[in-house]
Amino acid sequence: MNLNRVELIGFLGSEPETTYTPSGKFIATLSLATKTSWIKDDERQERTEWHRIQAWAKLAEYAAGFKKGAHVRIEGELRSREYQTDNATKVRTYVIVASSIMNLRPGQRISASESDPEHASGGPEEAVC
């Protein structure tokens, strides 16, 4: 059995960046901050992690409407990409390809249709805003 699933709850650190692939598919890239806290020597410690999220197709259209500071829940899978720099150094980067994005602010429900099946697990997704 294998499982590649990521669930994150955090705040957007910037406005979504949007683009189209050469074949015309719409992509939204989000920067998500999550915080971890713990107690060390009776003092609260905190660390912020930054995550790069990609949403495709109709899910990207939904994600493009978010503003910096939005509180969201993301579900997706972790993908890695490897490339070489000009000086032949191998670099590996990671991105979370979203299959579901939920705005955690209370309000009305809307539906964000399936993501690109080539880049996410697909299927209709529901988002709350």
Tens of pLDDT, residues 76-97 = 999 999 999 999 999 999 999 9
- To the nearest whole number, what is the mean pLDDT of the chain? 85
Tell me what the mean pLDDT of segment 29-36 comes to: 97
Q: What sign for the dihedral angle of Cα 109, 112, 113, 117?
A: negative
Full-model pTM: 0.77
In the predicted model, is pLDDT for residue 112 greater than 70? no
In the predicted model, is pLDDT for residue 128 greater than 80? no
Go through the domains of the chain in sequence order and give each one's CATH number.
6-128 (2.40.50.140)
The rounded distance, in Å, linking the Cα atoms of 111 and 43 is 43
